[in-house]
Amino acid sequence: MPTYLAAVPLPYTQILIVGGTQTGSGSTKVPVAESFDLSNPNALTLNVTMPPTFVRATGSNWYPFVRRLPKGKLLLRYRCWALLAGI
């Protein structure tokens, strides 16, 4: 189970889970975000690929800052790197 992650609610009963590591401090980082559908909790999560340059540049992606902006975009920040994405 990933640790050091962040989650942000999306429209239509979904949650976007971002960042973290596979098993804790010093382990492999999670290079994708996951979309979890609360209306279907038995379904598998949908992996959302992060841009490769963003994944390489962020290093340890612990404790990401994620916010849903008023016009439906997401602001995702790790340390000094930021990504603005549409949903």
Give the tens place of pLDDT for each residue, 30-70. Answer: 677 888 899 998 998 888 887 777 777 666 666 778 888 88
In whole angstroms, give the CA distance from residue 39 to residue 5.
Answer: 22
Task: Tell me how crowded residue 84 is: count the other CB atoms within 10 A of its CB.
Answer: 10
Average pLDDT over the chain, rounded to an integer = 77
pLDDT above 60: residue 1: no
Determine the pLDDT at residue 87.
Answer: 58
H-helix segments, 30-71: 52-58
Closest CA to 74 of 44, 26, 35, 30: 35
Outline where DSSP puts E strands in the chain. Answer: 6-10, 14-18, 32-37, 46-49, 65-68, 73-78, 81-86
pLDDT of residue 76: 78
